[in-house]
Amino acid sequence: MNRSGMMIVRAVYGAVLIGVVASLFSLMAVSTSYAQNVQDGRAVLPERRIRAYKYLGADEDIIRQTLTRIVRQEGDAPGGWVYEWSAIGKYYENLGDEIIQRGPRREALDAYMTSSVYYALAWFPNITSDEQDQAYADQLRVYQKGGKLFDVPLEVVNVPFREGNLVSYLHKPVGVAKPPLVIYSGGVDQYKANHYRPIQDYLEKGFAVATFDMPGFGEGRQWPREQSSEPHMALLEYYLKRDDLDTKHISFFGQSYGGGAALRVAMLNDPRITAVVAMCAGIRTGGDNSLLATGKIGKGKTITTPLLVLNGTRDPSNPVADMMLTYESAVEGDLWLLGLGEHCAVEYYPVVMPHVAQWLVEKNAK
């Protein structure tokens, strides 16, 4: 194990390697809390969340200063959670609108993407009120504004699903005629417009990336919340029909709740799927419908799809023992243990995401 605290365990058809990945990213103190709240007129946002939104593009000083102004959870007025974050989002959106009139595309894009992060904070950790619903609509609007300025403009793709459509955002790399595709899903509080920063690491490696909201979240709230492979497979079937993608190389990435769904995709052993990344994917939640209860975890080499399992070592919902069970279920697997990181180990993202993208490059080369 090196100074970064990151260990990689690799199994390829029974062979085991232990290695290290160099990292300049130091460990930081972590919090056991998972979401925000307002206690006695004081807003609380765990340190791991502050680090996460800083990584996504927010300014740490602005985050901390804004928290001092928030005195209530509800209400569309000064001092309210949604109001204060949305006001910052609107400031950066207006700034983007002003810049684009003068012509600097990159500066306008940066303003729009910064705006998107603050609108995301406004509806975080979920959408349960009209104010939060409006904040999410604001985030999608500004993300699509920025999407028009991407090196390859964002494409909004409606994928038929049950009685409606799953709305996906397709990001494509520059100069690649038919890029391989990564279908990307987040957790219960990280929706499709929250992944701009990590997506850049995949675009740089030549991948296209399609993000979407899982049933029960974001624009998928018309359906009940459920963790299954069905929505992912709906996207797979739809994107397989495209002639502008390398449909012989389609992979999946999922984190947290989306990681569990991605793991269910891996368990299908569908030969059309190149590889699956399951990040911080708990296997015990859901009772009779849990991943552990499926009989595909901890029962020998039951997963033939190449699988990467990774998470911090201090996540009570996905402890190292469970990660080992998952990893040992793959014929071709890798296990990355991210030091003292908690759930999803966000402090490692600047180092880990480029390595995940490279891992997918290697799997797609086969």
Tell whether 307 and 176 lie within a shared domain. yes
Q: How far, in Å, CA of 303 to CA of 308, rounded?
A: 11
Q: How far, in Å, CA of 179 to CA of 247, rounded?
A: 9
Tell whether 73 and 141 lie within a shared domain. yes
Which ranges of 180-229 does DSSP label H, i.e. alpha helix? 196-204
| Domain end residue (candidates: 92, 119, 146) | 146
* Alpha carbon of residue 77 to chain centroid: 30
Q: Would you state the structure tokens that stand for residue 265, as one six-digit string? A: 């995709």
* Assigned domain for 112 exists: yes
Tell whether 98 and 169 lie within a shared domain. no
Domain count along the chain: 2
Answer yes or no: pTM beyond 0.75. yes
Q: How far, in Å, CA of 197 to CA of 55, rounded?
A: 8
| Domain end residue (candidates: 126, 146, 166) | 146
- Rg, Å, the chain Cα set: 20
* Assigned domain for 1 exists: no
* Assigned domain for 35 exists: no
Tell whether 139 and 174 lie within a shared domain. no
Q: Are 181 and 245 in contact (CB under 8 A)?
A: yes
Tell whether 141 and 162 lie within a shared domain. no
Q: Are 207 and 181 in contact (CB under 8 A)?
A: yes
Tell whether 156 and 138 lie within a shared domain. no
Q: Are 262 and 278 in contact (CB under 8 A)?
A: yes
Tell whether 103 and 183 lie within a shared domain. no
Which residues form the domain of 97? Answer: 41-146
Specify the CATH number for the domain of residue 228: 3.40.50.1820
DSSP of 263-328: HHHHTT--TTEEEEEEES--SSTTGGGSTGGGT-SSSSS-B-S-EEEEE-TT-TTS-HHHHHHHHH
Sign of CA dihedral 22, 24, 29, 34: negative
* Assigned domain for 32 exists: no
Tell whether 140 and 91 lie within a shared domain. yes
Tell whether 45 and 23 lie within a shared domain. no
Tokens 């899903």 appear where? 185
Q: Are 215 and 274 in contact (CB under 8 A)?
A: no
Q: Are 292 and 283 in contact (CB under 8 A)?
A: yes
Strands 273-279 and 332-338: unpaired
- Print pLDDT tens along the chain (366 aa): 443 455 555 543 333 333 333 332 333 333 334 467 787 788 989 999 999 999 999 999 999 999 999 999 888 899 999 999 999 999 999 999 999 999 889 999 999 999 999 999 999 998 999 999 999 999 999 999 999 999 999 999 999 999 999 999 999 999 999 999 999 999 999 999 999 999 999 999 999 999 999 999 999 999 999 878 999 999 999 999 999 999 999 999 999 999 999 999 999 999 999 999 999 999 998 888 899 998 889 999 999 999 999 999 999 999 999 999 999 999 999 999 999 999 999 999 999 999 999 999 999 998
* Assigned domain for 34 exists: no
